[in-house]
Structure 1
Amino acid sequence: MSDDSSSRIVAELRRWIAAASPGSRLPSTRSLVARYQASPVTVQKVLRVLATEGLVETRPGVGTFVRSVGVARPPDYSWQTAALRAPHVPIRSVSAALQSTTSDVVAFHSGYPARELLPERLVRTALARAARSDAALARPPVDGLPELQAWFAHELRADTPAGVTAPTARDVVVLPGSQSGLSSVFRALAGAGQPVIMESPTYWGAIRAAAQSGVRVVPVPTGPEGPDPEELARAFSDTGARTFYAQPNYANPTGAQWSPERGRKILDVVRAHGAFLIEDDWAHDFGITTVPTPLAAQDDSGHVVYLRSLTKSVSPAIRVAAVVARGPSRARILADRAAESMYVSGLLQAAALDVVTQPGWRTHLRALRGHLRERRDLLLASLREQAPWAHVAHVPRGGLNLWARLPDGTDVPRLIRDCAAAGVTIAPGAEWFPAEPTSPFVRLNFAGPDPSAFPDAVRTLADTFDALAA
């Protein structure tokens, strides 16, 4: 029996249980096998599911019965209000980019590529090999598997120009995803109450990690070429900040990529103020018409702390990333990570290393560029034809997203609710601003599943907008 058949049997028995009296006896296993033309193994699996949900109870040698559910007094947790006090940062709901949807919804809100854009065969083979290796049972080093550290260092070394000392494996700390790495970097390099400069708009996860770490965010405006170096220098001087978080390549959400000249000027500003640049290279594997060159490859004096994740490009199930830092900053970051999580699963590290060192990995990345370009161009064309009021000022040369400005006065929350009701989910742009949004924006992921549905989804967006404007 397939999982779909099992689910169907579970659903039918749930309906039967809902109509039955507590204590009613379910048909025997033999009767259920005959009724549903299922195997005994499938029927036992179904009964375990129902028991786990608390709907039935099995009495050995007697049978399976509808469980009696007593009406209990609702639990009282009010004592926790005084015990917990007020939170030190505002409690926010889960970001729109992480909301789950059903398969019949066009998910423009997602922050991840569709499953068909992942190296599925490589991932499954790597996980199977890792499960048979010593990595399945051994505790890895606190700073990561040496072979994986060496791979991350080699990736940066390939972009290091002559005359600059390339990073080594000893500079790398493996992380359980870059999100936890951001929190550690903010705590280690800035500390609670200290200023951290951020582009505006920028990655919502960095904004939240900064808030949770207790640092004070200082926004600087940014555009398709990145922030103005003079504005950045002014922010350093006015605030005394020593840390600047940025995404020089394919920024989330705008898709901006700094020019080499802009990158050099910004790095000069950072050095002049004796500061750190936290370079989040989240989309390193998602170039479309350009190849990303990390700023970290141009710095050997410890000013650039480099983050790179494999979670989006390999698999969301393999949360593996790395931070490359030199000097005392690495020691502080490693100490924070050891206190937070001790080490990263050796099984996941081994699987990630297996994927990215296979010949098929480079083949996959070459094909991925074409797939992303097709999806990006299809969504752009659909917007220009059917929703020209959704203005995309910058066509990204990599990444996963389009950043669309809506007409002033647009009721973005209502637009998003009404689109969701029609089967199209969109991420509100306000989440990407560390200060007040400058205009109404939405972020649209062009790497989602079923791109053939993009034109109809944009038509739904346009119809919904027109209905609000009427």
Structure 2
Amino acid sequence: MSNDSTSRIAAGLRDWMAGAAPGARLPSTRSLVAEYQASPVTVQKALRTLTAQGLIESRPGVGTFVRAVRAARPADYGWQTAALGTPRAPLRPVSTAMRSAPNDVIAFHSGYPDRELLPERLVRAALARTSRSEAALSRPPAAGLPELQSWFAQELLAATPAGVTPPTPSDVVVLPGSQSGLSSVFRALVGSGQPLLVESPTYWGALLAAAQAGVRVVPVPSGPGGPDPEELDRAFEETGARLFYAQPNYANPTGAQWSPRVGDAVLDVVRHHGAFLVEDDWAHDFGISTDAMPVAARDDSGHVVYLRSLTKSVSPGIRVAAVTARGPARDRILADRRAESMYVSGVLQAAALDVVTQPAWQTHLRGLRHQLQSRRDLLVGSLRDLAPRAHVEHVPAGGLNLWARLPDGTDVDRLVRDCEAAGVIIAAGSDWFPAEPAGPFIRLNYAGPNPAAFREGARIIGRVLDAS
């Protein structure tokens, strides 16, 4: 019999049970076969379906019975409010960038590159090799595998100018992703209730980590070329802050990249105030028309705490990053990491190291540069042609995102809802502001899936904007 017959019998029995008392015995299989003109196998399939749904229960040697439905008592968690007290900081909602999306929509919202932009063969081969290695069964050092620490240190060494003392492998602490590194840095170097300077707009995950650490966020306006060093100096002076969080290369969400002149000026301000710059180099591997230029490479006095992640460029499944810091700052961060997670999975560390030390890794990065440029230019051109009111002031030289300014007065939340109803998911720019948004913005990821749909997505955004 077909599945239609199974469904027909199950539906008929549900109707019968609706008028039966809990514990009532169902007709025998023989009776059901005769009533529905079906085979015993089909009847048994229908009974198994109802059993899986919790509607009936079988008692061997006795029969099958309607299951008694117990009224669920409403859960009461009110006691937890008194036990937990008031949260130390408002709980920020998870950003739209972390949402999963069905395949039938045009997704511009994600913070991750599409699978086809990842070194899939390298990752699979690395995981296969690592699963057979000693790393699969041993506990790595708390600061990370020495070979991986050396690789991160060498990456900074390659950008270090003459006359500057480069970091050593012992300055590196391996992390289970840069998000956990941000939490540790804010807890260890800022502390609850203390001020933290951040670029505005900035990475929403840094704002989330700051909120959970209980630090007081102070925004510093930042444009396509980075922050104004004089504004930064004034913020340090007025707040007494000792830490500035920033993304000098391909900032999320704006795509801004600091020039060496701005980087040096910011570093001078930080040094003058005896403070730290936390440099989040999340997009180091995503340069298009320029290369990432870490400010940390020009500092040898411990003022820059440098975060470098491989999660987005290698694989979201291999959450490995590192923080490079010197002196007591490094010791405090490591102490926090030990308390938080003790160590990072040796399998993931070994797999990440395997990928980035293969000759094919550099080949992949060269190809990635061209793929990102093609996608970026396609989306920029599509917006200019089909959604000109979503104005992209700055075409980024790298990274994954476009930052689009909308007409004044645009209801961004409504725009997001209307676009999603039309099949396009976008992220409201408000997620990236530590205080009130400086205007109506949206962030669009050009590294997402299905670039063939970019023009259609831009057309829908333009149509919804025109109708708003």
- Contact 2:389–2:462 (CA under 8 A) maintained in structure 1: no
Does residue 1:377 correspond to 2:362, yes or no? no
Aligned to 1:365: 365
Question: CA–CA distance in 2 between the matches of 1:161 and 1:205?
Answer: 31
Q: Which AA in structure 2 matches 1:195?
A: P
Determine helix, strand or coil for the equivalent of 2:211.
helix
Aligned to 2:337: 337
Question: CA–CA distance in 1 between the matches of 2:180 and 2:194?
Answer: 19
Counterparts of 1:316-465 in structure 2, within 5 Å, are: 316-465=316-465
Counterparts of 1:178-217 in structure 2, within 5 Å, are: 178-217=178-217
Once the two structures are TM-superposed, the CA of residue 57 in structure 1 deviates from its matched residue by: 7.8
Question: CA–CA distance in 2 between the matches of 1:398 and 1:291?
Answer: 8
- Contact 1:196–1:215 (CA under 8 A) maintained in structure 2: yes
Aligned to 2:143: 143
Q: Deviations over 1:230-252 (max 9, x none)?
A: 11111111111110000000000
Determine helix, strand or coil for the equivalent of 2:442.
strand
Q: Deviations over 1:310-341 (max 9, x none)?
A: 11111111111100000000000000011111
Q: Which AA in structure 1 matches 2:150?
A: A
Determine helix, strand or coil for the equivalent of 2:89.
coil
Aligned to 1:4: none
- Contact 2:176–2:319 (CA under 8 A) maintained in structure 1: yes
Q: Which AA in structure 2 matches 1:111?
A: G
Q: 1:459 to 1:166 in 2, by over 3 A?
A: same
* TM-score between both structures, scaled by the size of structure 2: 0.88
Aligned to 2:71: 71
Q: 1:248 to 1:76 in 2, by over 3 A?
A: same
- Contact 1:20–1:66 (CA under 8 A) maintained in structure 2: no
Q: 1:338 to 1:460 in 2, by over 3 A?
A: same
Q: Which AA in structure 2 matches 1:319?
A: R
Q: 1:391 to 1:103 in 2, by over 3 A?
A: same
Q: Deviations over 1:391-433 (max 9, x none)?
A: 1110100000000000000011011001111110010001111
- Contact 2:387–2:463 (CA under 8 A) maintained in structure 1: no
- Contact 1:109–1:445 (CA under 8 A) maintained in structure 2: yes
Question: CA–CA distance in 1 between the matches of 2:11 and 2:186?
Answer: 51
Once the two structures are TM-superposed, the CA of residue 72 in structure 1 deviates from its matched residue by: 2.0
Q: 1:307 to 1:294 in 2, by over 3 A?
A: same
Aligned to 1:40: none
Question: CA–CA distance in 2 between the matches of 1:64 and 1:294?
Answer: 70
Determine helix, strand or coil for the equivalent of 1:100.
coil
Once the two structures are TM-superposed, the CA of residue 54 in structure 1 deviates from its matched residue by: 6.7
Question: CA–CA distance in 1 between the matches of 2:58 and 2:350?
Answer: 42
- Contact 1:17–1:55 (CA under 8 A) maintained in structure 2: no
Q: 1:264 to 1:80 in 2, by over 3 A?
A: same
Question: CA–CA distance in 1 between the matches of 2:408 and 2:435?
Answer: 18
Aligned to 2:164: 164
Q: Deviations over 1:90-133 (max 9, x none)?
A: 12322111011101111111000001001111111111111111
Question: CA–CA distance in 2 between the matches of 1:392 and 1:274?
Answer: 37
Q: Which AA in structure 2 matches 1:373?
A: Q
Point out the more displaced range, 70-79 or 190-199: 70-79
Q: 1:221 to 1:14 in 2, by over 3 A?
A: farther
Determine helix, strand or coil for the equivalent of 1:220.
strand
Q: Which AA in structure 2 matches 1:129?
A: R
Q: Which AA in structure 1 matches 2:366?
A: R
Q: Deviations over 1:162-214 (max 9, x none)?
A: 11111111001011110110010011111111111111011111111111101
* TM-score between both structures, scaled by the size of structure 1: 0.88
Q: Which AA in structure 1 matches 2:162?
A: A
- Contact 1:403–1:443 (CA under 8 A) maintained in structure 2: yes
Point out the more displaced range, 425-434 or 75-84: 75-84
Once the two structures are TM-superposed, the CA of residue 355 in structure 1 deviates from its matched residue by: 0.9
Question: CA–CA distance in 1 between the matches of 2:423 and 2:272?
Answer: 51
Identity of aligned residues (%): 70
Question: CA–CA distance in 1 between the matches of 2:75 and 2:230?
Answer: 57
Once the two structures are TM-superposed, the CA of residue 223 in structure 1 deviates from its matched residue by: 0.7
| Structure 2 unaligned spans of 5+ | 18-24, 33-37
Question: CA–CA distance in 1 between the matches of 2:59 and 2:318?
Answer: 41
Determine helix, strand or coil for the equivalent of 1:196.
strand
Q: 1:210 to 1:64 in 2, by over 3 A?
A: farther
Question: CA–CA distance in 1 between the matches of 2:336 and 2:8?
Answer: 51
Determine helix, strand or coil for the equivalent of 1:465.
helix
Aligned to 1:308: 308
Note the aligned Cα RMSD (angstroms).
2.8
Question: CA–CA distance in 2 between the matches of 1:97 and 1:402?
Answer: 13
Q: Deviations over 1:4-47 (max 9, x none)?
A: xxxxx9x99899867754898999xxx99x99xxxxxxx9xxx9
Q: Which AA in structure 1 matches 2:440?
A: P
- Contact 2:91–2:211 (CA under 8 A) maintained in structure 1: no
Does residue 1:115 correspond to 2:115, yes or no? yes
Determine helix, strand or coil for the equivalent of 1:301.
coil
Does residue 1:291 correspond to 2:295, yes or no? no
Determine helix, strand or coil for the equivalent of 1:206.
helix
Q: 1:118 to 1:13 in 2, by over 3 A?
A: farther
Q: 1:358 to 1:59 in 2, by over 3 A?
A: farther
Once the two structures are TM-superposed, the CA of residue 70 in structure 1 deviates from its matched residue by: 3.4
- Contact 1:17–1:66 (CA under 8 A) maintained in structure 2: no
Once the two structures are TM-superposed, the CA of residue 71 in structure 1 deviates from its matched residue by: 3.0
Q: Which AA in structure 1 matches 2:159?
A: D
Question: CA–CA distance in 2 between the matches of 1:12 and 1:74?
Answer: 38
Q: 1:465 to 1:70 in 2, by over 3 A?
A: same
| Structure 1 unaligned spans of 5+ | 1-8, 36-42
Q: 1:168 to 1:460 in 2, by over 3 A?
A: same
Question: CA–CA distance in 2 between the matches of 1:396 and 1:177?
Answer: 24
Q: How many residues align?
A: 443
Aligned to 1:126: 126
Once the two structures are TM-superposed, the CA of residue 55 in structure 1 deviates from its matched residue by: 8.1
Question: CA–CA distance in 2 between the matches of 1:322 and 1:60?
Answer: 59
Question: CA–CA distance in 2 between the matches of 1:353 and 1:65?
Answer: 59
- Contact 1:255–1:399 (CA under 8 A) maintained in structure 2: yes
- Contact 2:389–2:465 (CA under 8 A) maintained in structure 1: no
Once the two structures are TM-superposed, the CA of residue 69 in structure 1 deviates from its matched residue by: 5.2
Q: 1:59 to 1:322 in 2, by over 3 A?
A: farther
Counterparts of 1:23-42 in structure 2, within 5 Å, are: none
Determine helix, strand or coil for the equivalent of 1:182.
helix
Q: 1:19 to 1:379 in 2, by over 3 A?
A: farther
Question: CA–CA distance in 2 between the matches of 1:182 and 1:409?
Answer: 34
Q: Which AA in structure 1 matches 2:124?
A: R
Q: Which AA in structure 1 matches 2:184?
A: S
